[in-house]
């Protein structure tokens, strides 16, 4: 074969090869799925699944894990044992939430139990071995200013403003030395409060500190600011620096009780049908209404006492003793020390009683006194010390001035912080920029 024919054949092969290479590049450009590099990637594993349920009454933690989350009984027992160095799950409370996190393949990765408002137990599966730790719950804290108008009661006003009864109870405790929330509220009274509200995952989770409050009763304004007393403990003070706290609360009950009989040396007894002294005050209230000690002291009697029925007697400082009669239930025992405002029993109609009520009495140096008169002349605690006056007046300006500017039935978010327990800076409310009244409900 001649060299010319060889050259021609080689040229023809080169042309054919180039054509094949061009066709391959066209196919790759127009049909990328046909090449190995364009094969679809494997699907991502499904995201973790979170299940949450409250612990039912009477259930053990291990049994609840087995029944609710289908965890084998032997593994549930191992989980409870693994938690014991951090927290004993024998002391769980009904209603507290339990959260179980499942991985995409169905295995359990984490279990959480809320111990209380500030702590939770976290159990994590570490390569087949459970590890437990108690962690603080990281709330978002918002400082909110809230106002409400009273129509019938403080609780009713707070509920109408979209808040919960717990806030009304806090306010009753703050103003309880100056106001009796059974007898003093009037239609048209106003209440304003600056309070910390805690949120978890965007949901309202409870109240923190009440920083300042105002209650206007029949045209008279009562204001309180949270500060610290001479011992450095938290307390509430009037803008004048005088403490809100007195030796005794104004009432052994918190809300809405009608006074059916006052202090008298000559009262007709409805059962005995004779005239005799009634050395106390009768408050009509439903059976089961909580009764609080009006001051700190020591229980010196707790039991049945003739016509007084179930009775509690408490000895206080400076020669004072208080008596709580006709109880349906006693919640303290002789020798127990009780704090001011502590629940000591429940209203009833034991003994000589025509209906459910509390007969409250007070003695001073062995002589019964009319508490309605006595409570008005009791001395207050120590005022704000002069050394802290500058800090106190700055705090009053920080909270009370924006509070006084709050319109009726208005709510304003003044500041927020995501750090649990962190100090939250104040910002005055902006007119016309109220938060949604139903936020956090």
- Least confident range of 19-33, 296-310, 342-356: 19-33
Asked if residue 34 is part of any domain, the answer here is: no
Average pLDDT over residues 199-213: 91
Q: How confident is the model at residue 269 (pLDDT cuts 50, 70, 90)?
A: low
- Residue 380 carries which DSSP code? B
For the cut 50, the answer to whether the pLDDT of residue 74 exceeds it is yes
Would 277 be classed as within a structural domain? yes
Average pLDDT over residues 349-358: 87
Together in a domain, 272 and 164:
no
Residue 292 has pLDDT above 90, yes or no: yes
Q: Is the pLDDT of residue 23 over 80?
A: no
Q: Give me the count of residues in the chain.
A: 441
Q: Give a yes or no: residue 328 inside a domain.
A: yes
Task: Assign residue 388 the CATH number of its domain.
Answer: 3.10.450.350
Query: Is 90 exceeded by the pLDDT of residue 370?
Result: no
Same domain, 267 and 362: yes
Q: How many CB atoms lie under 10 A from the CB of residue 41?
A: 5
DSSP 295-330: S-EEEEEEEE-GGG-EEEEEE-GGGEEEEEEEEEEE
Residues 152, 132: one domain? no
Determine the pLDDT at residue 126: 83
- The reported pLDDT for the residue numbered 211 is 96
- Do 82 and 118 share a domain, yes or no? yes
Residue 99 is predicted with a pLDDT of 93
Looking at the fold, whether 325 and 398 belong to one and the same domain comes out as no
**92 and 168, same structural domain?**
no
Looking at the fold, whether 121 and 174 belong to one and the same domain comes out as: no
The structural domain count of the chain equals 3
What is the reported pLDDT for 408?
Answer: 82
Give the model confidence (pLDDT) of 389-433 as tens digits. 999 999 999 999 888 888 888 888 888 776 544 445 444 333 333
Total Cβ atoms within 10 A of residue 184? 17
Place 35 in a pLDDT band, splitting at 50, 70 and 90: very low
Confidence of residue 182 (pLDDT cuts 50, 70, 90): confident
Q: Which of 350, 374, 398 is the last residue of a domain?
A: 374
Question: Checking DSSP bridges between strand 203-217 and strand 264-268, what pairing results, if any?
Answer: unpaired
Band (382; pLDDT cuts 50, 70, 90): confident
Cα(375)–Cα(389) distance, integer angstroms: 28
311 in a structural domain? yes
Average confidence score pLDDT of the chain: 81
Cβ neighbourhood burial of 43 (10 Å; 0-12, 13-18, 19+): exposed
Mean pLDDT for 167-172 is 93
**What is the arithmetic mean of pLDDT over 335-358?**
90
Q: Are residues 351 and 275 in the same domain?
A: yes
Beta carbons within 8 Å of 81's beta carbon, 6+ residues apart: none
Do 348 and 263 lie in one domain? The reply is: yes
Please check the confidence at residue 18 and state whether its pLDDT lies above 80.
Answer: no
Helices (H), 192-344: none
* 354 and 263 share one domain: yes
Domain range spanning residue 412? 140-245+381-417
In a domain, 9, yes or no: no
Task: Find the range with the poorest average confidence among 122-136, 369-383, 409-423.
Answer: 409-423
Q: 156 φ, ψ to 5°? A: -60, -40
Whether 400 is in a domain gets the answer yes
Average pLDDT of the residues in 278-297: 89
Reported confidence tier of residue 66, pLDDT bands at 50, 70, 90? very high
Confidence of residue 43 (pLDDT cuts 50, 70, 90): low
Q: What angle do CA 203, 206, 208 make, to 5 degrees?
A: 125
Residues 262 and 363 in one domain: yes
Q: Is 21 helix (H, G, I), strand (E, B) or coil?
A: helix
pLDDT tier at 232, thresholds 50, 70, 90: confident
Average pLDDT over residues 12-29: 43
195 found inside a domain: yes
CATH number of the domain residue 294 falls in = 2.70.70.10
d(CA 243, CA 225): 9
Same domain, 215 and 186: yes
- Cα 127 to its chain centre, rounded Å, is 37
Mean pLDDT of 71-77: 92
The lowest-confidence range among 39-43, 189-193, 287-291, 347-351 is 39-43
Given 107, 136, 165, the domain boundary residue is: 136
**The last residue of a domain, from among 136, 156, 181:** 136
Reported confidence tier of residue 271, pLDDT bands at 50, 70, 90: low
Q: Is residue 175 part of a domain?
A: yes
88 vs 418, higher pLDDT: 88
Q: What is the pTM of this model?
A: 0.58
Report how far apart, in Å, the C-alpha atoms of 205 and of each of 142, 157, 363, 441 are.
11, 21, 43, 9
Residue 79 confidence class, pLDDT cut points 50, 70, 90:
very high
């Amino acid at each position: 074969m001649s060299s010319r024919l060889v050259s021609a054949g080689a040229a023809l092969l080169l042309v054919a090869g180039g054509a094949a290479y061009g066709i391959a590049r066209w196919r790759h450009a127009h049909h990328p799925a046909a090449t190995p590099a364009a094969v679809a990637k494997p699907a991502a594993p499904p995201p973790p699944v979170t299940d949450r349920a409250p612990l039912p009454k009477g259930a053990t933690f291990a049994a609840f894990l087995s029944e609710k989350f289908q965890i084998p009984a032997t593994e549930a027992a191992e989980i409870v044992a693994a938690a014991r160095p951090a927290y004993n799950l024998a002391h769980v409370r009904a209603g507290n939430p339990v959260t179980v996190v499942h991985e995409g393949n169905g295995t359990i990765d984490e279990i959480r139990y809320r111990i209380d408002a500030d702590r939770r137990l976290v159990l994590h599966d570490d390569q087949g071995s459970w590890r437990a730790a108690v962690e603080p719950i990281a709330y978002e804290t918002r400082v909110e200013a809230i106002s409400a108008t009273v129509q019938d009661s403080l609780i009713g006003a707070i509920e109408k403003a979209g808040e919960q009864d717990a806030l009304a109870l806090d306010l009753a405790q703050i103003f309880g030395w100056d106001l009796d929330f059974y007898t003093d509220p009037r239609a048209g009274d106003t209440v304003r409060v600056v309070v910390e509200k805690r949120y978890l995952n965007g949901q309202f989770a409870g109240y923190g500190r009440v920083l300042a409050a105002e209650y206007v009763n029949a045209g008279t304004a009562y204001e309180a600011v949270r500060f610290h007393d001479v011992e450095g403990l938290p307390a509430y003070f009037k803008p004048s620096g005088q403490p809100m706290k007195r030796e005794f609360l104004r009432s052994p009950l918190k809300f809405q009780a009608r006074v059916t009989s006052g202090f008298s040396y000559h009262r007709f007894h409805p059962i005995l049908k004779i005239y005799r002294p009634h050395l106390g005050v009768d408050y009509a209230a439903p059976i089961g209404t909580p009764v609080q000690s009006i001051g700190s002291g020591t229980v010196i009697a707790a039991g049945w006492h003739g016509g007084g029925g179930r009775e509690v007697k408490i000895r206080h400082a400076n020669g004072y003793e208080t008596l709580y009669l006709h109880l349906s239930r006693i919640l303290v025992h002789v020798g127990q020390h009780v704090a001011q405002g502590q629940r000591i029993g429940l209203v009833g109609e034991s003994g000589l009683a025509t209906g459910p009520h509390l007969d409250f009495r007070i003695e001073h140096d062995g002589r019964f006194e009319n508490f309605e008169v006595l409570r008005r002349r009791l001395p207050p605690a120590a005022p704000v010390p002069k050394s802290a006056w500058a800090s106190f007046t700055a705090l009053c300006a920080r909270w009370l001035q924006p509070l006084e500017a709050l319109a009726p039935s208005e709510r304003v978010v003044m500041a927020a912080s995501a750090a649990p327990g962190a100090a939250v800076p104040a910002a005055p409310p902006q007119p016309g920029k109220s938060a949604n009244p139903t936020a956090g409900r």
